[in-house]
A = this chain, B = another copy of it.
Amino acid sequence: MADRPGSSVIPFAPTPGAGGELPALALQGLVIERGGKRLLDGLTARLPRSGITAVMGPNGAGKSLALRAIMGLIPVNSGAVWMHPSVAGAVALVFQRPVLLRRSVRANLAHALKVFGVPRRERPQRLTELIRLGGLTNLADRPARALSGGEQQRVAMVRAFAAQPRLLLLDEPTASLDPQHTGAIEWLIRTAAEGGAKVILVTHDNGQAHRLADDVLFLHHGRALEHTSRSRFFDRPVSAEARAYLAGDLLL
């Protein structure tokens, strides 16, 4: 509670990039320390106004932390987050390990619609739409927490869509999905991006990044080591760490 997403944004003015365009999101030297360890270590990045940005990097690189810092869910020790006015206030995050309420699938989605301020009379129709979108028709009246791993992930995904977000933060949204549902969710993500929403997609699936991403932000030990177009990242990575990551070497 307390801080709404975006409310902890510290106003710093990012300089316009190429073509005078302001970024969708700018991170300025984010530092998060816990127990004497620097978990985010001066993370700086400017994410383009539109399209899908893949965030990649080894386990523990700080990908999930960065998303939570962007949402204002965890206090940062220093640094700032800036959001483009067109996205601030319409941000949704799908967690790596989604938490569903102790209610039916339908009630979870209805709750989200209510929280997101959808007028009462529009809700039934939106609800039906969301259920269809997630392929949840047969599951709608099940207790949400009794669903299978992949089913829960789909519920969390469409719950985020209930907010009609302009900035969508997705933390490995297809990690437990079967290939069919992965395809369906990737279609949803692409559609959202084509509809103008900015998408930030954390993934370990190189194939997925290949299929979806416009640009790739590579994190390592809490820093952005590389931020470049998809094709450049996969074909000609600059940093030794990214090369090693893509080569599948252990980076411990």
Binding site for B on A (CB under 8 A): 34-35, 57-60, 63-65, 96-97, 135, 138-139, 142, 146-151, 154, 171-172, 175-184, 204, 206, 244-246, 248-252
Query: Can you tell how many copies of this chain the complex includes?
Result: 2
Which listed residue, B148, B179, B183, touches A60 by the CB 8 Å rule? B148
Residue of B nearest to A182 (CB): B204
Task: Write the nearest CB–CB distance from A240 to chain B, whole angstroms.
Answer: 14
In the bound complex, do residue A178 and residue B57 qualify as a contact, i.e. CB atoms below 8 Å apart? yes
Residue of B nearest to A250 (CB): B180
Task: Write the nearest CB–CB distance from A249 to chain B, whole angstroms.
Answer: 6
Bound-state CA distance A138–B154 (Å) is 34
In the bound complex, do residue B150 and residue A179 qualify as a contact, i.e. CB atoms below 8 Å apart? no
Which listed residue, B65, B147, B181, B248, touches A180 by the CB 8 Å rule? B248
In the bound complex, do residue A60 and residue B248 qualify as a contact, i.e. CB atoms below 8 Å apart? no
In the bound complex, do residue A181 and residue B59 qualify as a contact, i.e. CB atoms below 8 Å apart? yes
Bound-state CA distance A181–B58 (Å) is 8
Given A97-B97, A245-B178, A60 and B151 contact (CB-CB distance below 8 Å): yes
Which listed residue, B63, B149, B244, touches A172 by the CB 8 Å rule? B149
**Which 6 pairs, one residue from A and one from B, show the smallest C-beta to C-beta distance?**
A59-B150, A96-B149, A175-B175, A58-B178, A180-B250, A60-B148
Instruction: Please give, as numbers and ranges, the residues of chain B lying within 8 Å of A64 by CB-CB distance.
Output: 148-149
In the bound complex, do residue B180 and residue A34 qualify as a contact, i.e. CB atoms below 8 Å apart? no
In the bound complex, do residue B206 and residue A179 qualify as a contact, i.e. CB atoms below 8 Å apart? yes
Bound-state CA distance A212–B86 (Å) is 47
In the bound complex, do residue B180 and residue A58 qualify as a contact, i.e. CB atoms below 8 Å apart? yes
Bound-state CA distance A72–B146 (Å) is 17
Task: Write the nearest CB–CB distance from A58 to chain B, whole angstroms.
Answer: 5
Task: Write the nearest CB–CB distance from A179 to chain B, whole angstroms.
Answer: 5
Residue of B nearest to A148 (CB): B60
Given A96-B149, A146-B34, A59 and B178 contact (CB-CB distance below 8 Å): yes
Instruction: Please give, as numbers and ranges, the residues of chain B lying within 8 Å of A148 by CB-CB distance.
Output: 59-60, 63-65
